[in-house]
Structure 1
Amino acid sequence: MKQWLLIMILLTAWFTGTFARAQTGEYEYGTGLPRDLDELAVPDSDYPDWPLTPEAERYASIDGERMKQWVNRICAVSLKSRDDGNPYWGRLPGTPYDRMTMDLVNDEFERLGMTVQRTEFVIPDDWTPRSWAAAYRVGDEVISLQSVFPVGETAATPAGGVTAEAVWLGLGAEPDFLGRDVKGKAVVIYSSFVPGGRSHSASRRARLFYANQRATERGAAMIINVMGVPGDARFNPLGAPPARHGVPLVTINQDEGFRLRDILGSGRKVEVSLSLDIEIRRNVKTAISVARLEGASDEEIVIAAHTDGFFQGAMDNAAGLASGLEIARFYAAMDAAERPRTLLFMLFPDHHHGELGLKMFEANHDWDNVAVVLTLEHPSQTQLYWYNDDLMTSNAIGAFRWNALGSDRFVNVVRDTLRQFGVSIYTLMNNKPKLTRQAPGFHIIDHVIYHTTLDIPDLVPAEGLERSTRAFVSIIDQVNGMSLDELR
């Protein structure tokens, strides 16, 4: 019986896609994204302009609209990946879209007069889901889960798939499991952003409830995280329990999750079927690149950005790449004698895939000659709010997690300059630098919408790109007035 049910469910999911009115609007809960983007999108012109002080007027040529155009061009590579029929889509290492992104950015570096060196390397193993489908049966009705998405590094199902009775475990905290036998069940857990696409409450990363770990250890047949964001997005938070446990972990959006919750709340029995095929790609060939802009000395400013991204990856990390191109344009317009130090722009394609390229660069670079390292990640995002059952956008720029590593004087320069240019940061500094600890460095990073289909250009304000990039260049200019010893 279960084998017949699985076949029927998966055929429904694969070939009809809209069985049982799954996404017609009847089961929407609150205003949400991306389905209500027409209503919630904020035009770039609606964000308040941050005025430049007279001494900062030299940065007026740094243009948010130009950077936004680059964000759109880079996201177009991801959309081609989707439109070419890849279910696991984006700018992923070792794919044509990896090479397209690298070529797009490096061609611009070369157009600006920079020399580019590429270094190939191999990723030994790369987890890649190839196909998946899920649906559930309640009574005689079969309902496809259109938003189901496998969590990075999770286990595959057996070839015949898995069918199990669904149980709702709330937030998945220890009290939620009391008196509940979840062995062999499809464990459904509601997970809220804390604050974003990777750090969510059910994950081990959040250090809150350890819900997914607990369900795995207690023998669940599968785990379904209902991602607590109003709307119909897709989610790939990474960080699944180790695949050796054999328990597949998937996400669904809140619209579908709340419909499932309501059915379970009525006391009806629900059986979920899931099929998930995983390929471990072997010896994936890709490359890092370093673009060099000579300065008046051989001391260096290293600027790094990752090119890979899930889904459109507008904030993560098309925005970082766009900021890097604008920094390069600003300094390339000067004579070499006006640049006190040489600038290196390092691109790496595997931030979400082991960072072997970054580690290779770090291990082989001479850091004694580096004045500062700037890592460009997620430098602009619309401030979002959860407002009762709605998701609400605003015409504000979100605040950033941040780190600065170096002398007290350098850290103060970073903090004060970000404030001067209207870049809001968390009150407490994160203690994890990016790229390396072998030289002074700094970064800011927003981390709400990444690893989701909410990460779109509409939520990457040109004004935010402009503020952060002007601040970055001002910090570099101030760093260029300090010696290596003063920075350390």
Structure 2
Amino acid sequence: MKPPSLDRIQEYIWRICSFEQRVPGSENERLTAEYLRELLESFGYEDIREQSFSIYGWNPTECVVKVIEPVQKTIEAAVFPYSNSTSIKSELVRLNHADDQSVEKTEGKIGLVPWGPHLYLSPMRSYFLAHRQGLAALLVAAPDEGDLRKVVVVEVGGEMQLPLISISREDAEELQKIGEDSEVILEIATSVERDESATSQNLEVVIEGTDDSAHQVIVGAHYDAFFKGAADNAASAAIVLELARLAKEYVDDGGTFNRTVRFLFFGAEECGSTSYYYWINGSRSYVERHSDIIENTVAMLSLDSVGFDAPNYIASTLDLMDFARSLKVSMINKPKIVHYGPPAYGSDHWFFELSGVPTIYGVSFPSPHYHT
């Protein structure tokens, strides 16, 4: 096979990112799937298999945060997944982690809190504390400087009881400074569309193997995303696209693969359910519907959140650990790579792994670009 084209990969990323806020079940997720289909057709694939599946659809359509007093200012903001629609006008207060009994001081007000030290858990802890203190809404400052918003899914087993809203670190610092001299009054309006019968879709193309073995290999990545989602996960989807293009070109030129190779593009990875496993819905649906394929799969490679300057982790089940460690990096400036195993939950490899499929999970982490 020929080497991958970085120019093509960048082109795929830019195009996928043009479908901003392609959250599961949304029109932009559907348009992204159409773009992937068109690309795969242009590569020469004729049998492009689409699998639709039911999800819980949550799509934010509006999030406005305005400072009303003592100045007038509109703050760029974004709601965390599963926040509800609301309209609030109230005083801004700092959320006090040291005093979770201060209900009388915070009831009905709008809280402000830094992101916290833990990427996943800190906003969740702040949400539950805000709920106990009776806040009407909570603003969470993004952890890094720059015009950046970020979200994670708070595991509440359904919709949140109060809106959780991300703002930039700089705007949070400005609000704090204003609040040192006077009372700050904010007005918040959020609007979200919910659809309990929404759908998402997986796309699949196959290169048939030539030997008598039923063994198969799966390469996959999800294409849905919060915000533009360049790193998470347009870059990974673009890599799988380029591999699919090169594989098709290789066989069209007379090359062969001993084993069947399946290239999968998963929908609804970021969210799409109100159950404990609110994420990785597309890959779970695929595993549940294709037990015959799963039984014959000897390796599954899943990519998520790649393409930026961060430690690169390759997590492998024990049966693939030696193979993963044997892989060589063909780059002048070789990135830092950390091997560990087995892969934990977190992306589309998980339900394959639970079904006994040997897996390799590639991810770069941590990064300010996660969920942006």
Which residue type is aligned with residue 440 of structure 1?
P
How far is the alpha carbon of 1:237 from its aligned partner?
2.7
Cα 1:98–1:248 change in 2 (3 A) is closer
Is residue 323 of structure 2 the alignment partner of residue 413 of structure 1?
yes
* Matched ranges for 1:66-81 at <5 A: 66-76=8-18, 78=19
Alpha carbons 2:57, 2:199 under 8 Å: kept: no
CA distance in 1, matches of 2:245, 2:58: 36
* Map of 2:370 onto structure 1: 450
CA distance in 2, matches of 1:243, 1:221: 18
Cα 1:156–1:401 change in 2 (3 A) is farther
Q: 2:215 aligns with which of 286, 292, 299?
A: 299
Alpha carbons 1:154, 1:248 under 8 Å: kept: yes
Cα 1:91–1:246 change in 2 (3 A) is closer
Q: 1:275 aligns with which of 178, 184, 189?
A: 189
SS in 2 for 1:202: helix
Cα 1:293–1:73 change in 2 (3 A) is same
* Map of 1:309 onto structure 2: 225
Cα 1:256–1:201 change in 2 (3 A) is farther
* Map of 1:403 onto structure 2: 315
Cα 1:423–1:440 change in 2 (3 A) is farther
* Map of 1:261 onto structure 2: 176
Q: 1:168 aligns with which of 75, 94, 97?
A: 94
How far is the alpha carbon of 1:372 from its aligned partner?
0.2
Instruction: Using the TM superposition, name which of 314-323 and 61-70 deviates more.
Output: 61-70
* Map of 1:425 onto structure 2: 337
How far is the alpha carbon of 1:418 from its aligned partner?
5.6
CA distance in 2, matches of 1:116, 1:243: 34
How far is the alpha carbon of 1:402 from its aligned partner?
3.5
Q: 2:38 aligns with which of 107, 115, 127?
A: 107
How far is the alpha carbon of 1:200 from its aligned partner?
4.9
Which residue type is aligned with residue 120 of structure 1?
S
Alpha carbons 1:434, 1:443 under 8 Å: kept: no
**TM-score normalised by L of structure 1:** 0.65
Which residue type is aligned with residue 404 of structure 1?
S
Alpha carbons 1:311, 1:451 under 8 Å: kept: yes
Q: 1:119 aligns with which of 42, 48, 51?
A: 51
* Map of 2:79 onto structure 1: 150
Q: Which structure 1 segments of 5+ residues have no match? A: 1-57, 79-88, 205-209, 384-397, 453-488
Is residue 214 of structure 2 the alignment partner of residue 288 of structure 1?
no
SS in 2 for 1:155: coil
CA distance in 2, matches of 1:330, 1:324: 10
CA distance in 1, matches of 2:34, 2:24: 13
* Map of 2:277 onto structure 1: none
Instruction: Using the TM superposition, name which of 416-425 and 184-193 deviates more.
Output: 416-425
How far is the alpha carbon of 1:370 from its aligned partner?
0.8
CA distance in 2, matches of 1:240, 1:257: 24
* Map of 2:276 onto structure 1: none
CA distance in 2, matches of 1:245, 1:376: 30
CA distance in 1, matches of 2:186, 2:158: 20
* Map of 2:257 onto structure 1: 339
How far is the alpha carbon of 1:257 from its aligned partner?
0.7
Alpha carbons 1:192, 1:227 under 8 Å: kept: no
How far is the alpha carbon of 1:291 from its aligned partner?
0.5
* Map of 1:372 onto structure 2: 299
Alpha carbons 1:187, 1:223 under 8 Å: kept: yes
CA distance in 2, matches of 1:67, 1:193: 33
* Map of 2:266 onto structure 1: 348
Cα 1:334–1:193 change in 2 (3 A) is farther
Cα 1:310–1:301 change in 2 (3 A) is same
CA distance in 1, matches of 2:204, 2:72: 52
* Map of 1:188 onto structure 2: 112
Which residue type is aligned with residue 364 of structure 1?
R
How far is the alpha carbon of 1:118 from its aligned partner?
1.5
CA distance in 1, matches of 2:158, 2:136: 13
CA distance in 2, matches of 1:417, 1:269: 59
How far is the alpha carbon of 1:239 from its aligned partner?
2.0
1:286-308 deviation line (CA, Å, top 9, x unaligned): 32221011111332111122121
CA distance in 1, matches of 2:160, 2:202: 34
Is residue 28 of structure 2 the alignment partner of residue 97 of structure 1?
yes
**Aligned pair count?**
347
Larger radius of gyration between Structure 1 and Structure 2: 1
1:155-204 deviation line (CA, Å, top 9, x unaligned): 332xxx222221123xx53x26576833222111011474xxxx256323
Cα 1:425–1:192 change in 2 (3 A) is farther
How far is the alpha carbon of 1:240 from its aligned partner?
6.7
Q: Which structure shows the higher helix fraction? A: 1
Q: Which structure shows the higher strand fraction? A: 2
* Map of 1:484 onto structure 2: none
Cα 1:334–1:427 change in 2 (3 A) is closer
**TM-score normalised by L of structure 2:** 0.83
Is residue 43 of structure 2 the alignment partner of residue 129 of structure 1?
no
CA distance in 1, matches of 2:23, 2:358: 30
SS in 2 for 1:280: strand
Over aligned residue pairs, what C-alpha RMSD do you find?
A: 2.7
CA distance in 2, matches of 1:241, 1:257: 25
Alpha carbons 1:190, 1:202 under 8 Å: kept: no
SS in 2 for 1:231: coil
Instruction: Using the TM superposition, name which of 230-239 and 312-321 deviates more.
Output: 230-239
1:138-158 deviation line (CA, Å, top 9, x unaligned): 33x33322x12111112332x
SS in 2 for 1:91: coil
